[in-house]
Chains A and B, each alone.
Chain A
């Protein structure tokens, strides 16, 4: 039996991962920057002799690098002092579980978000170096969004709610899983032209120019910070559900779906262009897609390529023009069949390389694409619910993958309920021993 996976797992629970929040700030916040002036000094750069072999570490070297240097050096096959302990956040339920167990203060569970102060405090308590999801960007969703409204309350208390994307969801009281998709507004050409197209246009209101003008002075330099490029297809899928996307692809109006994708992508390109033109400097760029599940892509790779390749290329070429050479893409599930489109059009870092029930995907991608393909992720987070021996076995595997270069282990998604606090601490400690 097939289950459309992880596409949503953890992400929509706190709404912080799958779609940009207003201003598209993930991890980074104005308050966060203004309170962290100690991070403003650019790091000392470690110089290496030109032509030195691409060592994966600096054996015996008495050098301390910042986490930003570690991460970027690894992804550029340059020497590094040790592996950074990188994570990808938590299911909120886990944090409440840990708070109940007395492992963390309740306030951290209540206020956690990617890269915020609570996240950093958790990093300190656990021993993590940083959360990979630290990006800033534009508001690349519908603007304005649709009104959130309850359309109906069913006898069992289930609410039918129209969300900001125009998707109608069923939310059942007491169920912490994501809502089920019930209906959607974007069904035909008329709905696109009248309801959606105006909301998919570029507008200066999508960008906080003031923030990006001061970005280089206020951003942190001890951790990598990325430009969020939005999503070519994932956000559209969120607007219409998998079923709706399927029907739109095969609509009698054969141009409709391509028009939707093109309109939405063009706006996102303009957002990236505007942000980069402010002079803001980023360490990497990043997409969110989540367009695969446990059996592969949610649509044919050929159709995906036809619809999306040109948009990735255009956006990634722009990034290259501004010196951004690490471009990662967040897609859960079995991504193998879409990797060629991504890789050939400039995406060179897989994230979070979910293990699921299908196993590692990074090594196969490396074998296929060579060292041009990097990865952040690929750590089977489920071992953190088991025991130390399971973590040790996973560490053996991760050491081997790390030795390939261009790979930073990171739990393959949000840590889920049942994860043992002490095992996470142990993993964070041990992963730093990879040199």
Chain B
């Protein structure tokens, strides 16, 4: 609602301003802008000095390296061409190296005398930036984190001690950003909403877990992830909460609530969990699958042997498929091409030969590769089967006539026709999380990030769920009772917001859910004291995966169902609470202000007894411990920010 109000105000402001005919801005605008600029100038002085010192050091180092290259190149050219001259003089290179270099430098100076600095130029006059096909939607705020020393920032983008090689072949950076950029998007943090202003909370479900695995990869490499990489709902949805599956219905819904103390500023709040579990389908009842792999074999995929991991993951998937399934493969480097037409699993050797033959090459013509993949999928399309394109990439698209908007449009159109897409992300450094997530979202499939073979195994362990969708366009609307609930905030799902009025508008996109998959949404609630009754009614609306028939059901949750304390709730709810706190702290949410990771870690450790054989929970505790250590290390470093100056994400 608040977002709508802001959008409305902005539009009205722009409309009224459009009536202005003056070529001079208002005096007030000029004065306000001068004041703001001077404030910025004063506030930013220390930070800039710090950056400027770093930049100086960086420039100095770069210049030294460049100088070494120049010297080496000059030496080489001198050794190659005037070799005969020197030979004629019977002089040894070793004795004359220094002089030769000096001579070469003098020569270079004569040929290229130092130029006066060029006057200020515009983009048009300077080398034009190529129209970038990989440009992300202009409304997005793209952040990138360059490889840099850990102490430069409290949040470090990627490994500081790893000198990752530059991408081969496809070295044209996406959007003109450095090749090692990691692209994430800041979706903001949901605010507390007064039920008097808006008692409806509507969102599209999300079963992705890419954000968790990507952040795990950061932490395992000894770095804190960018806070924009953290999507709370994807952290929460990574874990299995053991919701019982429905027997007949498409969904079962589960509620739980407990008193919750998180962050310094709030007391007497509650955490409410809404869990949705989709119908399970036995593997033998799964529909036959026509899968089209579109594999990125560009230069960037040779980094950290991303392509090797793709091959291993695909081999794993092929092993789990049935004889009535089919696989086709398209690849894209500098150009897209088909390398295997759709082949039945009874010819597994042919499929495996095609997978083994993949080699990285050239730049990244994602658009062409995706088009070819979809052409193949359309040709092999069988109504009633699972028709799915599986894209394996690091999300970097730097060649092609059109931008990602066009790619996303193609994917959306095809998804509407029944060819869905799953985006599997590979790679750390030069990785585009934003595009991969959008591809999975628009393609009515899912987005997963694969950093290890174990992750691939985990993903394909429920292959039926990964492939067969049981409900499409699933939307959830929670109608809070203003007599009981004073205010609420949805934790996460910031990029899955649906306007309240669009809940029953079936043209508006929701989320897809695979067989046996579950999804969890958490709300922090402030309740009116000593009131009893219905807290909320939750409506779930979805389309049948095959017939597209729309169904809706609702469930109520009462105050009497709130647990008396944290010890009275299920272990799985306690786990969800810990995961939420971890993600909120990692993304520096405004609502995590004053929260202490050590406290959350202690709660997580208590849970290990209840989840003794659960590798995911063991790993979570390990990751939280690492994070705690990294935060402590950062706090000890010279450039650590004062707690008061940590910039928490404002709702």
Asked if A and B are interacting partners, one says: no
Q: Spell out A's residues near B (CB within 8 Å).
A: none
Q: Spell out B's residues near A (CB within 8 Å).
A: none
